[in-house]
Amino acid sequence: MIVVTIGSEVLRRFVLSYSSIWGEEVARYAFIYLVWIGVAAAVRDRAHIRIDVLLHFLSPRGKAFIYLIGDFVMLAVALLALYFSFETLATSIKFGSVTHGLRIAQAWFLAAVPFGFTLTCFRLLQSIWRDWGDMRGGRAVFEGNRLFD
């Protein structure tokens, strides 16, 4: 959807010397949803950037403990951000703000943030459950896929 919208806008702008207001907005808001869903997917796969130099020197139980601490800290931050994102969404609904080009309630697009943080919290709880089980069972903790070794 993003590629088609941006591609059509490029053709319109450079071939027809005309561009629409809605094309840029559709691409922007689709990208915002894509990013917030991607955050939750990255939590699931433990793909966020992290510094793991010290983790190589820890036992599997120690790694699980460090990952659990990290997940709890990230969950606390995500819950805090979830609260404030709902507050922002409620303000937008209260005042009825609309987008400039599409003339659609901006709340539909601001809802991407609490939606993303809700998914992120869900994935963090899954990660905590998985790591807790690995730590109690003496198994190696899931470290995610590595791009570089």
Regarding predicted confidence, which is higher, 114 or 140?
A: 114
The CA distance from 64 to 20, in Å, is 51
105 phi/psi in degrees, rounded to 5:
-55, 130
Average pLDDT score, the chain: 90
Nearest partner of 129 among 51, 72, 47, judged by Cα: 72
Residue 19 lies in a domain: yes
pTM of structure? 0.84
Distance (Å) of CA 57 to CA 53, 61, 64: 8, 11, 13
Residue 34 lies in a domain: yes
Residue 145 lies in a domain: no
Q: Is the pLDDT of residue 147 over 70?
A: no
pLDDT of residue 127: 95
Residue 52 lies in a domain: yes
| 37-92 per-position pLDDT tens digit | 999 999 988 888 888 788 889 888 888 899 999 999 999 999 999 999 999 999 99
pLDDT of residue 25: 87
Give the DSSP H or E segment for 51: none
Count of structural domains, the chain: 1
The dihedral of CA 55, 81, 78, 38: what is its sign?
negative
Residue 149 lies in a domain: no
Residue 105 lies in a domain: yes
Residue 89 lies in a domain: yes
pLDDT of residue 83: 97
Residue 146 lies in a domain: no
Question: What do you get for the CA distance between the two ends of the chain, in Å?
Answer: 35
The whole domain housing 94 covers 2-137
DSSP state of 111: T
Letter for the amino acid at 16? L
**What percentage of the chain exceeds 90 in pLDDT?**
50
**What percentage of the chain exceeds 70 in pLDDT?**
97
pLDDT of residue 48: 85
Q: Confidence class of residue 149 from pLDDT cuts 50, 70 and 90? A: low
